[in-house]
Amino acid sequence: MSRPRVYMARKIPEKIWMPYKDQWDIQMWPYEDLPVSRTELFQQLKQADAIFTTLTDVVDQELMDNGKHLKIIANMAVGYDNIDVEYAHKKGIIVTNTPDVLTESTADLTFALLLAAARRLVEANQYIREDKWTTWSPLFMAGTDVHHKTIGIVGMGRIGEAVAHRAKGFHMNVLYHNRRRRPDAEKRIGATYVPFEDLLEQSDFVVCMTPLTRETEGLFDRKAFQKMKHTAIFINTSRGGTVNEQDLYEALKEGKILAAGLDVFQHEPIGKDHPLLQLDNVTALPHIGSATKDTRYQMMKLALENIELVLNGKKPKTPVT
Ligand SMILES: NC(=O)C1=CN([C@@H]2O[C@H](COP(=O)(O)OP(=O)(O)OC[C@H]3O[C@@H](n4cnc5c(N)ncnc54)[C@H](O)[C@@H]3O)[C@@H](O)[C@H]2O)C=CC1
Ligand SMILES: O=C(O)C(=O)CO
């Protein structure tokens, strides 16, 4: 019997895929730092039984229709807004993601970004590197306190809750808004559920931790920023599409809110000319929420375990339902 064909839409370290080399006919996009082209993915899908994708690979109906043997799309991310899951399910294709293994690392980065935006860490680092530091002075690089302030988490899921835990360590008052109220999380972390508008009005830090869906697309728009305090800091480590970037730019420029920390953008990668990068009150990162070596290896391993299970006729560990 011929071996199942697995297409890896991104080059990953040999030690991760080596254990499968005798079981599978593995084909791989040869670049680590360059996403697979659509044409190549289209071609490869003709023969693939399984594909390993990353969040940069848009897997839509046209591509799936070309995947006559395709049984599983294993996304190396917890977010799966790059895949038309509804259509995959219609065609009987299993979609898997990589939840849990990245929760703590992403929460660490989210909190780091919050601290960096509040205490102007990147701006201060840049200042000293540009040799502008002349003296200590009373209000030099004065930022905003984080401790004992109110944090409002929109999307109290796995990562949202892990961010809340960190906030509690800073003696913060934790508000949250979620699609469904979460009494279990409320008990565990002492968080208070509030309607979205109340969260915007009461929070010193507003953190977006929802997935990108039809409901959350553009959730943070002009109206939302207008409701926030003038001193509020907005943090986004979910997906750029949850924010109307033009509205965010105007809110930051006009002082409707104080600052923003952004790990994700509507179109990635952004270039240095992006309007948001022209503002000193924006701390920007290149989508590195889960980027620790340990976590990234675990994400790759989990994606391949899911492929192995499905190709052996078993249920995957982490299906997207
Ligand atoms: N910046 C980065 O590198 C990373 C970004 N992410 C993003 O974070 C997202 C969240 O990940 P997890 O916490 O593991 O997912 P999760 O599914 O555990 O949590 C998401 C929460 O958002 C809630 N939600 C959904 N729609 C909502 C709405 N309209 N209003 C309020 N709440 C809503 C859900 O009920 C759920 O509780 C991912 O979907 C991904 O987009 C995840 C990992 C790394
Ligand atoms: O997992 C995700 O959804 C990411 O954005 C990268 O880890």
Confidence at residue 85, expressed as pLDDT on a 0 to 100 scale: 98
Q: Is the Cβ atom of 154 under 6 angstroms away from ligand 2?
A: no
Structural domain includes residue 320: no
| pLDDT tier for residue 4 given thresholds of 50, 70 and 90 | very high
Q: What is the dihedral of CA 35, 41, 47, 48, to 10 degrees?
A: 40
Q: What is the dihedral of CA 296, 297, 299, 304, to 10 degrees?
A: 150
CB neighbour list of residue 131: distance below 8 Å, 6 or more residues apart: none
180: annotated active-site residue: no
pLDDT tens string 101-152: 999 999 999 999 999 999 999 999 999 999 999 999 999 999 999 999 999 9
Shared domain check, 180 and 94:
no
Structural domain includes residue 67: yes
Which ligand is in closest contact with the Cα of 81? 1
Q: Is the Cβ atom of 55 under 6 angstroms away from ligand 2?
A: yes
Q: Where are the alpha helices (DSSP H) in the chain?
A: 14-17, 38-45, 61-66, 85-90, 103-119, 121-129, 158-169, 183-189, 196-202, 222-227, 245-253, 293-311
Q: What is the mean pLDDT of the segment spanning 248-259?
A: 98
What is the number of alpha carbons within 13 Å of residue 93 lying toward its C-beta? 29
Shared domain check, 153 and 72:
no
The CA distance from 109 to 125, in Å, is: 18
pLDDT tens string 225-239: 999 999 999 999 999
Structural domain includes residue 321: no
Tell me how far the alpha carbon of residue 243 lies from the centroid of ligand 1, in angstroms.
14
Shared domain check, 269 and 121:
yes
The CA distance from 150 to 229, in Å, is: 11
| pLDDT tier for residue 49 given thresholds of 50, 70 and 90 | very high
Structural domain includes residue 109: yes
| pLDDT tier for residue 1 given thresholds of 50, 70 and 90 | confident
Shared domain check, 88 and 204:
no
Which ligand is in closest contact with the Cα of 209? 1
Q: Is the Cβ atom of 290 under 6 angstroms away from ligand 2?
A: yes
Structural domain includes residue 318: no
Q: Among candidates 240, 230, 221, which has minimal Cα distance to 287?
A: 240
62: annotated active-site residue: no
**Which residue, by CA, sits nearest to atom 1 of ligand 2?**
77
Q: How many CB atoms lie within 10 A of CB 166?
A: 18
Structural domain includes residue 317: no
Shared domain check, 218 and 78:
no
Mean pLDDT of the chain: 98
Q: Among candidates 136, 134, 132, 185, which has minimal Cα distance to 156?
A: 185
Interface ipTM above 0.85: yes
Shared domain check, 247 and 111:
yes
Shared domain check, 224 and 120:
yes
pTM: 0.98
Shared domain check, 247 and 112:
yes
Say if residue 299's pLDDT is above 90: yes
Residue 321 is given by DSSP the state -
The CA distance from 175 to 177, in Å, is: 7
| pLDDT tier for residue 35 given thresholds of 50, 70 and 90 | very high
Structural domain includes residue 146: yes
Catalytic annotation, pick one of 40, 62, 215, 268:
268
- Tokens (6 digits) for 289: 């929420």
In 237-287, at which residue ranges do the beta strands (DSSP E only) sit? 259-262, 282-284
287: annotated active-site residue: yes
Closest ligand 1 atom to residue 237 Cα is: 1
Shared domain check, 280 and 200:
yes
Shared domain check, 72 and 144:
no
Shared domain check, 221 and 159:
yes
Structural domain includes residue 185: yes
**Which residue, by CA, sits nearest to atom 5 of ligand 1?**
238
Q: Is the Cβ atom of 79 under 6 angstroms away from ligand 2?
A: yes
Q: Structurally, how many domains does the chain consist of?
A: 2
Confidence at residue 229, expressed as pLDDT on a 0 to 100 scale: 98
pLDDT tens string 69-107: 999 999 999 999 999 999 999 999 999 999 999 999 999
Specify the CATH number for the domain of residue 194: 3.40.50.720
Confidence at residue 126, expressed as pLDDT on a 0 to 100 scale: 96
Catalytic annotation, pick one of 5, 10, 182, 287:
287
Per the structure, the complete domain to which residue 25 belongs is given by 5-101+293-311
10 sits in which H/E element: none
Tell me how far the alpha carbon of residue 85 lies from the centroid of ligand 2, in angstroms.
16
Catalytic annotation, pick one of 5, 182, 239, 296:
239
Q: What is the mean pLDDT of the segment spanning 196-208?
A: 99
Shared domain check, 111 and 71:
no
Question: What is the percent of the chain where pLDDT is above 90?
Answer: 99
The CA distance from 178 to 152, in Å, is: 11
